[in-house]
Each structure stands twice: as C-alpha cells, then as structure tokens.
Amino acid sequence: MIRFDAVSKVYPDGTTAVDTLDMVIPEGRITVLVGSSGCGKTTTLRMINRMIEASSGTVTVGGRNIADLDENTLRRGIGYVIQQSGLFPHKTVLDNVATVPRLLGWDKKKARARAAELMETVGLPESMADRYPHQLSGGQQQRVGVARALAADPPVLLMDEPFGAVDPVVRTLLQDELLRLQSELRKTIVFVTHDIDEAVRLGDRIAVFRTGGRLVQFAPPAELLARPADEFVAGFLGAQRGLKLLSLTSLSEVPTIPVATVEQRVSVAEALATAARAGDRWLLAVREDGAPRGWLDTDGLDGTEGSVAGHVLVAAAAVGGADSLLAALDAVVASPCGLVVRVDDQGRVAGASTERDVIDAASRYRDGVMAS
Ligand SMILES: Nc1ncnc2c1ncn2[C@@H]1O[C@H](COP(=O)(O)OP(=O)(O)OP(=O)(O)O)[C@@H](O)[C@H]1O
C-alpha cells in the first residue's frame, strides 16, 4: 500500500504542483492518475520513489515513511517505466533488461538468464536479445522498458505514460499485455496517462487531478463513469460515458438462445427448408469448423440457385466470453435481424442473444452501479 498524507509539492519558483494530497493506493492493483497537462501527475508519481521530494506531508510505502529510507533501498523495490522507454542506446536488449540485477550484484550469467526469462514474459522473441534499442520498433522498446523495470521483481511499478509514444493499435496490444502480466504478477502499479480510455481500460482505481495539483475524485472506473464528482470530472471523462461504462462489464448476464443455422456448403433449397421449419427469415450460415460465416436472408430467395456459400451474406458480428456488453450492443445494432451471435472459446457458434436482452442487461448493470 502506498499512502499520501497531506502531501504537497511546491517547486522553488513557487509553483504548487501537488496540493495537500490524501490518497491510499491499494496493494496489488493498478491505480491510474489522470488529468490535463500540468496537473501534477508526474510530480505525484515521482514523489513515491523520491526522484522528487515532497515539500510537506508524508508518503509511506508498505507502512514505512519513505523519508526515513535510504533512497537506493527504496528504489530497489520500485520499478520505473517512462514514455520513451529510457533504454541505454549502447547496450543490447538483453543487457538493458539485465541492468538492475547486475546493479544488485548478480553475476552476469544469472542476470542474463533472468533477462531472457523476462523477455519471454513480456512477449519479446529471443532473437531480439542481441539487438540494440534503435533496431526495435517503439512498441518493442516499451516492452523492453517494462521487462527492465520488472527485472528485480519489485512489488511496486511506476509507469509514466509508458505507451504514450506508440500508435493506437500497438498501444492496445501493450495494454492487453500489461493486463495479462498483472493477472499473474499482482504488482502495485501506479500508471500516469492523459488518455481516459486507457485509464478506464487499465485502472482498478482512477485518480482524477485538476490544475493546481488537486485530487478531485478517486474511485473505481465504473463509479467514476456512473457518478462523476463534478462538471470537471464529467468533462474530462468526455462523451459516451454510458458506452464506456458498458465496456467494463461482461456478457454473463445476457441470456443465450438457440439460433437457426445452416452449413454454408448446403444448397439454398435445403436452407429454405430449414428456414421454413424454424419459422425464421434470417439463417446463420456457419463454416465447416462451426465458426459464423454470415446471415442469409431467405426472403425472396429462389430455391434453384446453388449453395448458401455462393450467396451474398450479411456479416455476422460475434461476441464471446471475453467481450464486453459494449461489444454486444455494437454487434446487435449492426445486425440485420436483431440478434448478436454468441461464440464459445473455440470461436464456434453457441447461440445468439436478442437486442432486447442486451439492452435490458445494460440497464440492469447501470442501475446496479448507480445503486452501489
Ligand atoms: N522543476 C520544476 N520547477 C517548477 N515547476 C515545475 C517543475 N516541474 C514541474 N513543474 C510544474 O508543476 C506542475 C505539475 O507538473 P507535472 O509534470 O507534475 O504535471 P503532469 O500532470 O505530469 O503534466 P503532463 O501531463 O504535461 O506531463 C506544472 O505546472 C509544471 O509546470
């Protein structure tokens, strides 16, 4: 646990970067600090490892006042990742990752073995070990930065806009990777970002700061989205607050019903017979492996023409166990027949859900968050 008690930081020129901050950062969770530029996020983060000293107040890490700790001892337990990865340009990837174990006095062989293990953990191929940072993409460099910060297995990880410099696609991949890593490692992570979507995606708790270094709201993402403390927080959360809220919940509450399917290789005549039996206009064509292929509109179809696969099918968006209610809503709105396809872990059709059931589940979730 990291605890701020009445912590302020006033820089020598009189700028108040952080103003009387009280905040308890839970252990083993991701806490995200957000807010507009210059609101004191980085200053707050750096006061945890004493790269910046607080002007007043107390910061405790694991119950110990950090002002009483030797800086090196403190930092050994705190990994630090920054935007431009901060890698040593003249060191190979493997040696970059091995830096902290080497500083801790591990012999070269053991430090490199640990570094190789960490490269695998963060999803970097072994073949990159001997490259230099400039021979990697931005996303790969960030992975090296994360691996390096994890090398001494610190219980706390500070991340200052770690994915700020990569494109949105790579950014999403890195976020997924961080969530996967965190589900195994359970570090206490403090993560700074400008991006509210990133905060909602990653944070177990989100701290919203405003200019002048004031903490305005500190809450789990669902609570923040459902009940922003004031106009400032609501404005910062931006448009589509309701939809963002739906991105936080799963499909477990949405019932699955049977759906009329046909294999795509069967004849249209056979499909028409199936549709007549089922009493449905739309049939879901499936591939040989059971994955959805598309919706077939049997209305006005002539039974003499070829196979289902030869027909124009309307794309069938499918959702599975890992998807959110937002994904289901999106899929059902885009569906030609008011059904969203449900697939199992292997991507095979497992049924469908109705528009009504998706919307009802969304309303129930919102009511639950509002009432909690
Ligand atoms: N060394 C310094 N001397 C004087 N003022 C400083 C110093 N470092 C930061 N500041 C000021 O303190 C305030 C908070 O800065 P900080 O870097 O913590 O904000 P931030 O929220 O991380 O901003 P950004 O999102 O732009 O990185 C800003 O007004 C900044 O100009």
Could you give the 3-state DSSP secondary structure of residue 98? coil
Q: How many CB atoms lie within 10 A of CB 125?
A: 9
**Where do the H-state alpha helices sit in the chain?**
41-48, 71-76, 93-97, 99-103, 108-121, 138-150, 168-185, 196-202, 221-226, 231-237, 241-246, 268-278, 325-334, 355-371
Indicate whether 163 pLDDT > 70. Answer: yes
68 Cα: distance to centroid of ligand 1 (angstroms): 25
Nearest residue (CA) to ligand 1, atom 30: 38
Q: State phi, psi for 231 to the nearest 5 degrees.
A: -60, -35
Q: Hey, what CATH topology would domain 261-364 get?
A: CBS-domain (3.10.580)
b (16+ CB within 10 A) / e for 128-149: bbeeebeebebbbbbbbbbbbb
Indicate whether 291 pLDDT > 70. Answer: yes
Nearest residue (CA) to ligand 1, atom 17: 42
53 Cα: distance to centroid of ligand 1 (angstroms): 14
In the prediction, which pLDDT does 230 show?
A: 93
In the prediction, which pLDDT does 304 show?
A: 67
Residue whose token pair is 């199936």: 274
Q: State phi, psi for 297 to the nearest 5 degrees.
A: -90, 110
Q: Which atom of ligand 1 is nearest to the CA of 9?
A: 12
Indicate whether 303 pLDDT > 80. Answer: no
Rounded CA separation 16/209 (Å) = 13
Nearest residue (CA) to ligand 1, atom 23: 38
Indicate whether 7 pLDDT > 70. Answer: yes
Indicate whether 257 pLDDT > 70. Answer: yes
In the prediction, which pLDDT does 120 show?
A: 85
In the prediction, which pLDDT does 239 show?
A: 82
* Pocket mutation for ligand 1, best pick of 9, 32, 42 (most atoms within 8 Å of C-beta): 42
Q: Quick one: average pLDDT of 306-324? A: 89
C-alpha dihedral sign at 59, 63, 207, 200: positive
43 Cα: distance to centroid of ligand 1 (angstroms): 7
Per-chain mean pLDDT for the chain: 90
Residue 255 pLDDT class (50, 70, 90 cuts): very high
Would you state the structure tokens that stand for residue 61, as one six-digit string?
């890490």
Show the ligand 1 pocket: residues with CB < 6 angstroms. Answer: 11, 13, 15, 17, 35, 37-43, 194
Indicate whether 289 pLDDT > 80. Answer: yes
- The domain limits of the chain are 2-246, 261-364
Rounded CA separation 326/249 (Å) = 8
Rounded CA separation 153/188 (Å) = 12
Rounded CA separation 35/261 (Å) = 49
Stated pTM of the model: 0.83
Nearest residue (CA) to ligand 1, atom 1: 11
Closest by Cα among 276, 280, 273 to 258? 280
Q: Which atom of ligand 1 is nearest to the CA of 192?
A: 22
> HSE-up of 226 (CA within 13 Å, CB side)?
21
Would you state the structure tokens that stand for residue 82, as one six-digit string?
């920054």
40 with 209: CB under 8 angstroms? yes
15 Cα: distance to centroid of ligand 1 (angstroms): 9
Rounded CA separation 187/29 (Å) = 7
Closest by Cα among 161, 214, 157, 220 to 190? 157
b (16+ CB within 10 A) / e for 157-194: bbbbbbbbbbeeebbeebbebbeebbeeeebbbbbbbe
Q: Which CATH number fits domain 2-246: 3.40.605.10, 3.40.50.1820, 3.20.20.70, 3.40.50.300?
A: 3.40.50.300
Please give the residue that has the higher pLDDT: either 104 or 115.
115
203 Cα: distance to centroid of ligand 1 (angstroms): 23
* β 261-263/282-286 pair status: parallel
Query: Of 70-84, 137-151, 158-172, 289-303, where does the model show the most confidence?
Result: 289-303
Q: Quick one: average pLDDT of 224-247? A: 91
Residue 180 pLDDT class (50, 70, 90 cuts): confident
Nearest residue (CA) to ligand 1, atom 13: 17
**Chain segment 36-95, per-residue pLDDT in tens:** 889 999 999 999 999 999 999 999 999 999 999 999 889 888 988 887 667 888 999 999
In the prediction, which pLDDT does 85 show?
A: 63
Indicate whether 302 pLDDT > 80. Answer: no
* Pocket mutation for ligand 1, best pick of 8, 13, 41, 208 (most atoms within 8 Å of C-beta): 41
Q: What's the length of the chain?
A: 372
Rounded CA separation 179/156 (Å) = 15
Q: Quick one: average pLDDT of 286-295? A: 95
Q: Quick one: average pLDDT of 136-147? A: 84
Rounded CA separation 191/203 (Å) = 8
Query: Of 97-106, 169-178, 247-256, where does the model show the most confidence?
Result: 247-256
* Pocket mutation for ligand 1, best pick of 43, 44, 84, 160 (most atoms within 8 Å of C-beta): 43
* Pocket mutation for ligand 1, best pick of 4, 7, 15 (most atoms within 8 Å of C-beta): 15
Indicate whether 19 pLDDT > 90. Answer: yes
116 Cα: distance to centroid of ligand 1 (angstroms): 36
In the prediction, which pLDDT does 231 show?
A: 92
23 Cα: distance to centroid of ligand 1 (angstroms): 19
296 Cα: distance to centroid of ligand 1 (angstroms): 58
